[in-house]
């Protein structure tokens, strides 16, 4: 097959995916919306199974855009049907991740690698939580929650299986996050100024109390995703990945992303983004540092222009002032009460809650990561999240495994190509006390960044050379 034929084949697949996403969004306004509630998750699972075995870059692109767009599609269907009945669509990207679940033989082979020795502890705690969940909760609840924890990890392990092509995967992540940052950022700005009807309807029905008011200039921007915090972390990843790109698109993506990030009012994401950007500036060469500083300066000037809008100025000023007066902040006070409750629960449940014990406040169905355990919001604190799930002993084992993986990924020496990945990982780790990292969408970011770094280092170690240039021929997928 010639180079032009390969390129044409790849572009044709991308056009098919774009057409599918457009048709799904258009169908949400028609009588087909009811059928999409089942069709979209099923197509995501089958598409994940097929693409994970056929095309690395297309599979990664498919999964990323499902994460980017599935929540908005859910809101559109809910608005058309007149009720919150399309929550299963939120599971679509997780099901696509499950399509790459390694076979037992593959998993055993991966766990034999020295750099993945800590992963044995993670897998062991997941098995333990599944057993506890089986003993305490219903099978349906167990499966629903186990998928939200295991799906992102399955995708990350797929990245390790494909480690010989990690340069190609890094480029795919960088390009798709950069484009996604531009698209989601523009929609986020539109959402803040105009607020689409499906977004307003969802806000009115949502149990989230810190998402703002359902009116223009009153919303905490969540763009195409389902919460300001989640959107903010994806935008932070997109901005950090964009700094490593040489494409001109980055000069549009970074400023738009920063404006949208400011409108989320997500303080923890702001802190994580600053930590990640400082890491990049410190480790990048002098010439690239200057380019980044110029891009950031231009973005700051745009933010200054944006802040001339009275509503924006008031909102950002109030949020920035809260850093110096946390005692009177309602969000911080609510988190403190939740943590006191969590400590009491942890003391009473030595074996943990396992998978299947979390639920939403309404009891209306699967939560897919946005959940509580007896009033404790698991999305508010990653430490509480794994401690309440795994119990006393399981939490220690999980923490040791996580710490070992993060250290393996971050410890020197790390090549320059991994700098944005490590920066993105750090931006998440510093947010662990303020957001749940280990289920659903945040877990996808966490495990993918960890495994990308480990896959890169393992590939360099085994080959003894630096990475080869990216090839367009991604149709042959490696197995371990």
Secondary structure in 3-state letters for the chain: CCHHHHHHHHHHHHHHHHHHHHHHHHHCCCCCHHHHHHHHHHHHHHHHHHHHCCCHHHHHHHHHHHHHHHHHHHHHHHHHHCCCCCHHHHHHHHHHHHCCCCCHHHHHHHHCCHHHCCHHHHHHHHHHHHHHHHHHCCHHHHHHHHHHHHHHHHHHHHHHHCHHHHHHHHHHHHHHHHHHHHHHHHHHHHHHHCCCHHHHHHHHHCCCCCCECCCCCCECCCCCCCCHHHHHHHHHHHHHHHCCCCCCCHHHHHHHHHHHHHHHCCHHHHHHHHHHHHHHHHHCCHHHHHHHHHHHHHHHHHHHHHCCCHHHHHHHHHHHHHHHCHHHCHHHHHHHHHHHHHHHHHHHCCCCCCCCCCECCCCCCCCCCCCEECCEEHHHCHHHHHHHHHHHHHHHHHHHHHHHHHHHHHCCCCCHHHHHHHHHHHHHHCCHHHCCCCCHHHHHHHHHHHHHHHHHHHHHHHHCCCCCCCCCCCCCCCCC
- What does each of the 480 residues of the chain score in pLDDT, given as a tens digit? 454 544 455 455 566 667 777 778 778 777 778 889 999 999 999 999 999 999 899 999 999 999 999 999 999 999 888 765 778 899 999 999 999 988 877 777 777 777 788 999 999 999 999 999 999 999 998 999 999 999 999 999 999 999 999 999 999 999 999 999 999 999 999 999 999 999 999 998 887 777 888 999 889 999 999 899 999 999 999 999 998 888 889 888 998 999 899 899 898 999 999 999 999 888 887 777 777 777 777 777 777 777 677 777 777 677 666 656 655 555 655 565 666 666 667 777 788 889 987 754 434 344 433 444 444 445 678 888 898 899 999 999 999 999 999 999 988 666 788 899 999 999 999 999 888 899 999 999 999 999 999 999 888 877 665 554 444 344 444 444
**Per-residue pLDDT at 430:** 95
The predicted pLDDT at position 119 comes to 93
Q: Cα(350)–Cα(96) distance, rounded to whole angstroms? A: 34
Whether 449 contacts 423, CB under 8 Å: no
Sequence-distant (≥ 6) Cβ neighbours of residue 384 within 8 angstroms: 338, 339, 342, 346, 376, 378, 436
Query: In terms of Cα–Cα distance, which of 452, 465, 460 is closest to 162?
Result: 452
pTM of the entire predicted model: 0.88
Question: In sequence order, what are the residues at sequence separation of 6 or more whose Cβ sits closer than 8 angstroms to the Cβ of residue 90?
Answer: 70, 71, 74, 226, 368
Provide the pLDDT for residue 231: 96
Predicted local distance difference test score (pLDDT) of residue 212: 87
For residue 335, the model assigns a pLDDT of 60
Neighbours of 397 (CB within 10 A): 17
Phi-psi region for residue 391, left (φ > 0), alpha (ψ -120 to 50) or beta?
A: left
């Amino acid at each position: 097959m010639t180079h032009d034929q390969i390129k044409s084949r790849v572009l044709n697949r991308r056009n098919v995916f774009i057409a599918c996403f457009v048709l799904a969004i258009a169908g949400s306004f028609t009588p087909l919306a009811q059928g999409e509630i089942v069709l979209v998750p099923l197509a995501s699972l089958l598409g994940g199974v097929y693409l994970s075995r056929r095309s690395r870059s297309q599979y990664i692109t498919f999964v990323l855009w499902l994460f980017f767009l599935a929540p908005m599609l859910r809101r559109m269907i809910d608005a058309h049907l007149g009720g919150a009945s399309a929550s299963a669509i939120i599971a679509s990207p997780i099901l696509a991740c499950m399509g790459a679940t390694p076979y037992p033989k593959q998993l055993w082979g991966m766990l034999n690698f020295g750099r993945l020795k800590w992963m044995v502890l993670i897998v062991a705690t997941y098995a333990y939580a599944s057993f506890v969940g089986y003993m305490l909760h219903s099978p349906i609840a167990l499966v629903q929650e186990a998928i939200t924890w295991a799906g992102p990890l399955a995708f990350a392990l797929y990245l390790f299986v494909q480690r010989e092509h990690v340069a190609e995967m890094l480029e795919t992540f960088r390009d798709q996050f950069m484009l996604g940052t531009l698209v989601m950022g523009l929609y986020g700005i539109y959402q803040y100024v105009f607020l689409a009807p499906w977004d307003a309807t969802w806000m009115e029905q949502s149990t989230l109390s810190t998402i703002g008011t359902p009116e223009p200039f009153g919303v905490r921007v969540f763009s195409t995703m389902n919460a300001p915090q989640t959107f903010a972390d994806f935008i932070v990843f997109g901005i950090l990945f964009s700094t490593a790109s040489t494409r001109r698109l980055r000069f549009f993506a970074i400023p738009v992303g920063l404006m949208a990030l400011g409108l989320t009012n997500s303080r923890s994401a702001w802190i994580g983004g600053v930590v990640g950007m400082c890491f990049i500036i410190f480790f990048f060469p002098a010439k690239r540092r200057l380019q980044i500083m110029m891009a950031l300066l231009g973005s700051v000037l745009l933010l200054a222009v944006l802040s001339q809008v009275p509503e924006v100025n008031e909102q950002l000023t109030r949020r920035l002032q809260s850093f110096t007066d946390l005692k009177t902040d309602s969000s911080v006070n609510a988190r403190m009460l939740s943590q006191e409750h969590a400590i009491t629960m942890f003391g009473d449940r030595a074996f943990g809650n396992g998978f299947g014990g979390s639920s939403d406040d309404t009891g209306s169905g699967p939560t897919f990561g946005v959940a509580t355990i007896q009033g404790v919001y698991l999305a508010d604190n990653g430490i509480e999240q794994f401690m309440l799930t795994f119990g006393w002993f399981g939490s220690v084992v999980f923490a040791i495994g996580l710490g070992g993986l993060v250290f393996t990924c971050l410890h020197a020496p790390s090549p320059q190509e991994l700098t944005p990945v490590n920066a993105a990982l750090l931006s998440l780790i510093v947010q662990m006390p303020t957001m749940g990292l280990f289920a659903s969408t945040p877990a996808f970011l966490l495990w993918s960044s960890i495994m990308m770094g480990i896959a890169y280092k393992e590939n360099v170690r085994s080959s003894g050379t630096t990475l080869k240039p990216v090839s367009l021929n991604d149709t042959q997928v490696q197995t371990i």
